[in-house]
Amino acid sequence: MIRVLLADDQSLVRAGFRALLDAQPDIEVAGEASDGEEAVRKVRELRPDVVLMDIRMPLLDGLAATRRITDDGTLEGVKVVMLTTFELDEYVFEAIRAGASGFLVKDTEPEELLRAVRAVVEGDALLSPGVTRRLIAEFAARSKEPATADALGQLTEREREVMALVGIGLSNEEIARRLVVSPLTAKTHVSRTMVKLGARDRAQLVVLAYESGLVRPGWLG
């Protein structure tokens, strides 16, 4: 059973998400929060698998709340998915760097929301691929200067290739087709690359691909 915490200051939004999620046989809503402070407190109390976190909330915004959660070593297994009203939200890229596992726009289709919750628990696909590509291309240019290439020295040539494809927003299935390998092989390469670079999830691997200079904004493959 996947346990989800809903963090949004609009009760109607929380009610809609709750109705959808609780109707699934493998998902349950563990709790709700109406501001960032309450979200952090509820995460520590309830230890959900996934937090659906609104970016703009009172007392403590979603970005700051996400940092508190991802910086807490005792909450390592909790995945945070940011919720935004606009596809190109200026805070989302920073949220991913802070440790969020992905993001969704609030008006996403119900099926996509459910797929996203399940995928992020598996640590698989970065969420909303189309939005991800546009947003990262827009805001990666505002990130810090590329890190030294030495950070990638421990990767094999194939792992560097896979990391670049992850960086332009491809899923494991798309990577498998591009490299003519099985999806399982592609997933294995992604997992090994994450372990070597200390990336907590696929979203951070995307950020590292940009910050290392392996991928540049606009390289959407």
Write the pLDDT tens digit of every residue in 33-52.
Answer: 999 999 999 999 999 999 99
Q: Is 108 exposed, middle or buried (0-12, 13-18, 19+ CB in 10 A)?
A: middle
DSSP labels for 5-21?
Answer: EEE-S-HHHHHHHHHHH
Q: Per the confidence metrics, is the pTM higher than 0.85?
A: no
Write the pLDDT tens digit of every residue in 76-108.
Answer: 889 898 887 765 556 666 777 777 887 787 888
Spatial separation of the C-alpha atoms in residues 89 and 123, rounded to whole Å: 23
Percent of the chain at pLDDT above 90? 38
Confidence of residue 134 (pLDDT cuts 50, 70, 90): low
| Whether residue 69 has pLDDT greater than 80 | yes
Q: Is 210 exposed, middle or buried (0-12, 13-18, 19+ CB in 10 A)?
A: buried
**What spatial distance separates the first Cα and last Cα of the chain, rounded to whole Å?**
36
Closest CA to 82 of 23, 38, 127: 127
Most confidently predicted of 36-40, 61-65, 207-211, 214-218: 36-40
**What Cα–Cα distance (Å) separates residue 98 from each residue in 21, 40, 61?**
26, 15, 13
Confidence of residue 220 (pLDDT cuts 50, 70, 90): very low
Which residues pair with residue 27 across a beta bridge? 2
> How far is C-alpha 164 from the geometric centre of its chain's CA atoms?
17
For the segment 57-68, the average pLDDT, to the nearest whole number, is: 90
Write the pLDDT tens digit of every residue in 160-194.
Answer: 999 988 887 788 888 999 999 998 999 899 989 98
What are the two backbone dihedrals, phi and then psi, of residue 216, each rounded to the nearest 5 degrees?
-115, 150
